[in-house]
Amino acid sequence: MKHGFGIIGAGGIADVHARAIKAINGTGPSGVYDTDRAKCVSFGQKYDCKAFESPDDLCRDPDIDIVCICTPSGHHLEPALMATGEGKHCIIEKPLEITLERCDKIIEAGIRNNVIISGIFPMRFSDVNKELRKAIDAGRFGKFVLGDIYIKWYRSQAYYDEVKWRGSMKDGGGGAVMNQGIHSIDLLQWFMGKVETVCAFTSSPGHADIEIEDTAVAALKFSNGALGVIEASTAVNPGFFRKIEILGTKGSVVLEEEIIKTWQFSEEEPDDQLIRDRFSGIQTSGGGVSDPKAISDEGHIRQFLDITEAIETNRKPAIDAVEARKAVEIVLAVYDSAANKRIIHL
């Protein structure tokens, strides 16, 4: 079934949305709106779609049934309220919003208007992460012992200077944890379960004139008794591939981006070698390690397919707004712990 997509916010990630729409729909977006008129018009020309003069007009357009919200992270709520108020389904970029109050308003708006809202976490749709989740669901790790993520990336000062919200917490929810680390934080909680306690430190050793942290470490305790760490930075030169370690009493998996470094269980299964072979190799590029534009479209395409199927069959999408809120809650606990020098119980 064909859907009519509108995009609000025609910046960097909007291109990925436009290409994902084309891939699943055959045609690109039906319309776009951006507060920057020149950007709006040029995006409209690029994707041969209508450049709306106001977000209300886009949200009222009868040809549009799904609105993609690609505005800066602290500006997701207002377009979401507008779109859901017009009965449109919403796809909202990560993070869902930058405070829990604003996340909850989005969740309530979806329920009130009986529309589907999906957050975006494309990494959950990658083949290797799906295999890992299957192994977890099958109980192959025994008891979880440690769940760790390391996102040691590099962003230049120019990256923060060129777009102000990236360095601002109040305006845009930048920050190495909220902006870059959140993808892996979502994966970690999806694999390990609920985070119960957080103790964190944040700092900004690598960049001048930014309000937000460019480096953070956090110790975690999960509800199941396991412990873990988050290390996130955008100040590490040259930047390293993202690493996730899920370690249990009966098995452990270590991934670097999409590559398996360890896939070892005390009870080996016939498919294990196939899985190791399929995801072995050397990661040579990508992952946004030092280039924010190095994002593959594939995760968005898979997630858009999930969302349109959810709409067509009237089921929840894999990452509805309640699910997307979970990572925001952990990020905010990291900030609260670091700012107030205390242990946060979620």
Ligand X SMILES: NC(=O)c1ccc[n+]([C@@H]2O[C@H](COP(=O)([O-])OP(=O)(O)OC[C@H]3O[C@@H](n4cnc5c(N)ncnc54)[C@H](O)[C@@H]3O)[C@@H](O)[C@H]2O)c1
Which residues of the chain form contacts with ligand X (CB under 6 A)?
8-14, 33-36, 39, 55, 70-73, 75, 93-94, 120, 163, 179, 295
- DSSP 3-state of 64: coil
**CA 330 – CA 151 distance, rounded (Å):** 16
Comparing CB distances to ligand X, the nearer of 272 and 306 is: 306
Least gap, CB of 219 to ligand X (angstroms): 25
Give the residue nearest to ligand X (CB).
Answer: 11
Comparing CB distances to ligand X, the nearer of 178 and 218 is: 178
- Phi and psi, residue 283, nearest 5°: -75, 125
- Secondary structure of 115-181 in HEC code, one letter for each residue: CCEEECCHHHHCHHHHHHHHHHHCCCCCCEEEEEEEEECECCHHHHHHCHHHHCHHHHCCCHHHHHH
**CA 203 – CA 215 distance, rounded (Å):** 5
Least gap, CB of 312 to ligand X (angstroms): 23
Comparing CB distances to ligand X, the nearer of 40 and 255 is: 40
Least gap, CB of 301 to ligand X (angstroms): 12
Least gap, CB of 322 to ligand X (angstroms): 18
Comparing CB distances to ligand X, the nearer of 160 and 222 is: 160
Q: Please name the helix (run of DSSP H) or strand (run of DSSP E) that holds residue 229, with its range, or none.
A: strand 227-233
Least gap, CB of 135 to ligand X (angstroms): 25
- Phi and psi, residue 140, nearest 5°: -75, -15
Least gap, CB of 257 to ligand X (angstroms): 14
Comparing CB distances to ligand X, the nearer of 179 and 189 is: 179
Comparing CB distances to ligand X, the nearer of 13 and 200 is: 13
The HSE-up count of residue 241 (CA atoms within 13 Å, CB side) is: 16
Q: Taking the mean position of all CA atoms in its chain, how far away is CA 41?
A: 27
Least gap, CB of 267 to ligand X (angstroms): 36
Least gap, CB of 15 to ligand X (angstroms): 8
Comparing CB distances to ligand X, the nearer of 86 and 196 is: 86
Q: CB neighbours (10 Å) of residue 201? A: 14
Q: Please name the helix (run of DSSP H) or strand (run of DSSP E) that holds residue 288, with its range, or none.
A: none
- DSSP 3-state of 1: coil
Comparing CB distances to ligand X, the nearer of 8 and 81 is: 8
**CA 29 – CA 211 distance, rounded (Å):** 35
